[in-house]
Chains A and B, each alone.
Chain A
Amino acid sequence: MEIFAQNSFINDSYIISLVLFNNVSNSSEIRNMAIKREINATLLKPQAIVDSFQVLLAANKALSNYLGKTMYTKSLHSEIIFSLSASRSITESFKNFGVENDANSILIVEISEKDKSSIDEICSRVRGDPVKVDSIGTFTNIPVIKQLYKIDESELAHSNLNDVVYSRMAAKEFVNY
C-alpha cells in the first residue's frame, strides 16, 4: 500500500497523508465509521479530483482555518471537503466531493500531527485494492469537474484545467461564479 505523505506548508508539524483505493466493497461501512468519527479522515470521490496538488491545497487551507479558528465547518476533516468545493454551501460540498455508500473508489485524506498518524489503521479497515496516488488522473471525470467548478470551454482555450480548478477553490469566499 502506498501512502502519499507530505508536510503541511501552513505548519510543518502537521502531516497530510493520502491513500487511494479502487474496487472497494465496503464503502458504506467506511463512510459510517467516518461519520461516527471512529476514523479520523476525509473520504473523497476520486472522480472529482484532478491531482494530488488540488487535495493538498484544500488540506492546507483547512488546516489554516482550523489553527486560526476560522473554520466554516465543525471539524478539520469536513473543512477539507468544504475547501475543495467551489461552492459556499456545505451540504453541496459534501454531495459533490464526499463518497457515496456504493462508491467503488475512495481517496482517503488524513491530517495529523507528525508521528500521530493513524492512516495505516484507517486503511486496514478498507476492503479494496490500494493504488498509487499519482494514478488519480485515471479516475478523474472531466465533465464532472467542469460542472462542479463551473468551468467554461472558452476558459480552457487559454488556461489549463487544473489551474482553473485551483483558482476556483482559492477564491470562493469572495468571488461569485
Chain B
Amino acid sequence: MPIAIGFEGSANKIGVGIIRDGEVISNPRMTYITPPGLGFQPRDTAKHHRENVLSILKEALREANITPKEIDVVCFTKGPGMAAPLISVAVVARTLAQLWKKPLLGVNHCIGHIEMGRVVTKADNPTVLYVSGGNTQVIAYSENRYRIFGETIDLAVGNCLDRFARLLNLSNDPSPGYNIELLARNGKKFLELPYCVKGMDVSFSGLLSFIEERAASLLRKNEYTREDLCFSLQETIFAMLVEITERAMAHCGSKQVLVVGGVGCNIRLQQMLQIMAEERNASVCAMDERYCIDNGAMIAQAGLQMFTHGQRMDWNETFCTQRYRTDDVYVSWRD
C-alpha cells in the first residue's frame, strides 16, 4: 500500500499530512493569525511557516507511526499561492526528497482539494465549487482536465469577505469569514447590494466598493447593524455562488455538488447549496475539514493519485508558481 507525504503552505496555513491508500493517517497543521484589521503578508507568513514546518513534520510522522523509509513519494504544493510561503515549504520538501531518496511531485493546490473531496465523500463525478481566500471557481471534469466553467472576474470570494471583515474591524481568529458568519446569524434587515452574475462568472468588486462606501454611514445612522450588513453580504454573495454552481450543473447535467476551500465551511452557504440541489434532485457532498481547509493530506492524496498513475517529475520541474490554473493540469488518473 503506497504512502505519500504532502506539504502545504500556499497561504496562511502550514500543514504536513500522510496518506496511506486514500486514508489520512496524520494531518497536523497550524494557522498564522494576524491582528484584527490586518491581512497576512507574504514575508511574515513565510517566516511563520519556516519556524513551524519541522515540528509539524515530526508530529505528522509520530502520529502516523511510520518511518521516512516507508514513504513512497514526497508531495508539495507547486501553486497557486503566495510566492514566499510556497517557497518556504517547497524547500523543505525538496530537501527531504533528496535526503530520503524519494520521488518528488509538485501538486496543484486546487486539485488537492478536489481529489481529497472525492476520496472522503466517495463522490464520483461532482461539480466542484471551489471557494477560498484566493479562489472562486466552478469546476467540472471532462476529457482529462478539471475545466473551469465559472469563476470570478475580479476578487475572490474569501478576499471579498476578508476585506469586509477588516472594514468592520473583526478578529482574524479563527478566521475573518467565520466571524462574519457568526454575526450574520443574528442579522435581520436585508440591504440590497449589487448582484453581478455574467454567464457562469461572478464579479464582487462592485459589491465591495458599494458597501465600503456606505457601511460607516449606515452603521452610524443606526439604519443597519453590523449583524445586518454581514447577513446581507453573505446572502448576496452566496446567492451568486449558488447560482453559477447551478448553471454549471445544468450545463453539464451533473447531479452532485462538492464544495471545497475555506469558505465552504460556512454553514449558510452549505444550506443554500443544499436547497438548490434538492430542487433539482441532486445532492451535496457533506463538508469535511479534510478537504475544505488547506492541509497537507490533500496534497499527499492528489500526489498519490499522480504517482500511482505513473506521473513523475524531473527535478527541474519541481519549482513553485504563484499562478497555476486548475485546467493547466493533465489529469491522467480519471477516465
Contact flag (A, B; Cβ within 8 A)? no
